[in-house]
């Protein structure tokens, strides 16, 4: 039996017991004051299903991801770096239309599909609203489009791209954590829109849809010397071919832009540091933005 097949069988076993590693969040009756309107959702009912069957997801469910090491690759700079990660929590599914609708008071036309057409800035505001609803310290402060991450806060946030890739790989070393046609929705499926979350097999961390279906926003800047304030999104989408649906593939977009195949997944975890955590550093961002010599090819000016 090959490594991919063994990983695939192991993922089925993990899915069968995944609820043992979930942090099930209990909603409070308070209303957030994070600048977005919200409403209290009705209680969610649950039913037993096969572990890879699409299920209604009306609560935010997070899996505990143990600490470890991940190697990140920057293709333009031809650089690799090793990141040591502390344990953190990450959403079992991408945030759904239903969850956005429940918290922000919007209509969910397709409740179980990943929420898309959500800008990076709106994803940040969703994280803060969810934190305040749960009585947690919001992770972000923002002044217009300038966002600051309070690294020690215990509220919800976007994952760093190091966290995202480490959680997606779940111990695997290849581009995919299982046979792509069984773990991800891609262009090969011929679908024309995002599919309901949880419809394909999870990885060994019990996470669904980290590859394919929709790209997912991360906290990090993509390449500040070349693209200014563009933020990273990861994982590939339903319209992408296999080359783009890889654990290491990275793309990005302006924080105010929204895309029909880009959503997000929430993370949680505070750290005893200042302006640096989980592979991200504000000081390194400044260094990366400093252009010494000719501008990188394809540079996008800020305007």
Coil, strand or helix at 263: strand
Say if residue 42's pLDDT is above 60: no
Domain boundaries, the chain: 3-35+60-289
Average pLDDT, the chain: 83
Q: What is the DSSP letter of 154?
A: -
Q: What pLDDT score was predicted for residue 299?
A: 55
Banded pLDDT at 43 (limits 50, 70, 90) = very low
Q: What is the pLDDT of residues 266-297, one digit of tens each?
A: 999 999 988 999 999 999 999 988 877 777 66
Taking 60 as the threshold, does the pLDDT of residue 56 lie above it?
no
Q: Do residues 247 and 204 make contact, with C-beta atoms less than 8 angstroms apart?
A: no
Predicted confidence (pLDDT) per residue in 172-228, tens digit: 998 999 999 999 999 999 999 999 999 999 999 999 999 999 999 999 999 998 899
pLDDT per residue as tens digits for the range 239-266: 999 999 999 999 999 999 999 999 999 9
Per residue in 90-139, pLDDT (tens digit) is 999 999 999 999 888 888 999 999 999 999 999 999 999 999 999 999 99
CA distance 140 to 86: 20
Report yes or no: 115 and 97 within 8 Å, Cβ to Cβ: yes
Band the pLDDT of 52: cuts 50, 70, 90.
very low
pLDDT at 298: 63
Q: Is the pLDDT of residue 45 over 50?
A: no
Q: Rounded to the nearest 5 degrees, what angle is found at the Cα of 206, between the Cα atoms of 9 and 13? A: 30
CATH 3.30.830.10 fits 3-35+60-289, yes or no: no
CB atoms within 10 A of CB 260: 13
Non-local CB neighbours of 266 within 8 Å, separated by 6+ positions: 60, 62, 90, 91, 95, 126, 127, 130, 156, 157, 158
């Amino acid at each position: 039996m090959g490594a991919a097949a063994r990983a695939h069988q192991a993922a089925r076993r993990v899915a069968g017991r995944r609820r043992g590693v979930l942090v099930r969040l209990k909603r409070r009756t308070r209303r957030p004051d994070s600048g977005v309107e919200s409403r209290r959702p009705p209680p969610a009912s649950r039913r037993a299903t096969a572990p890879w069957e699409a299920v209604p997801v009306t609560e935010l469910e997070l899996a505990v991801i143990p600490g470890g090491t991940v190697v990140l690759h920057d293709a333009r700079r031809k650089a690799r770096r090793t990141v040591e990660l502390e344990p953190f929590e990450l959403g079992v599914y991408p945030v759904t239309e239903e969850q956005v609708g429940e918290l922000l008071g919007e209509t969910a036309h397709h409740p179980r599909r990943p929420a898309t057409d959500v800008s990076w800035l709106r994803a940040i505001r969703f994280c803060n609203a969810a934190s305040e609803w749960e009585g947690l310290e919001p992770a972000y402060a923002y002044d217009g489009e300038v966002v600051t991450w309070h690294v020690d806060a215990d509220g919800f946030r976007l994952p760093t791209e190091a966290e995202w890739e480490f959680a997606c790989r779940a111990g695997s070393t290849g581009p995919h954590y299982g046979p792509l046609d069984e773990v991800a929705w891609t262009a090969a499926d011929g679908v024309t829109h995002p599919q309901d979350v949880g419809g394909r097999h999870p990885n060994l961390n019990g996470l669904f849809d980290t590859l394919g279906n929709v790209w997912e926003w991360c906290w990090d800047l993509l390449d500040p010397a070349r693209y200014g304030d563009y933020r990273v999104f990861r994982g590939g989408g339903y319209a992408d071919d296999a080359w783009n649906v890889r654990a290491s593939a990275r793309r990005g977009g302006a924080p105010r832009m929204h895309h029909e195949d880009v959503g997000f997944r929430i993370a949680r975890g505070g750290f005893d540091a200042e302006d640096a955590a989980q592979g991200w550093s504000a000081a390194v961002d400044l260094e990366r933005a400093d252009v010494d010599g000719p501008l990188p090819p394809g540079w996008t000016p800020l305007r």
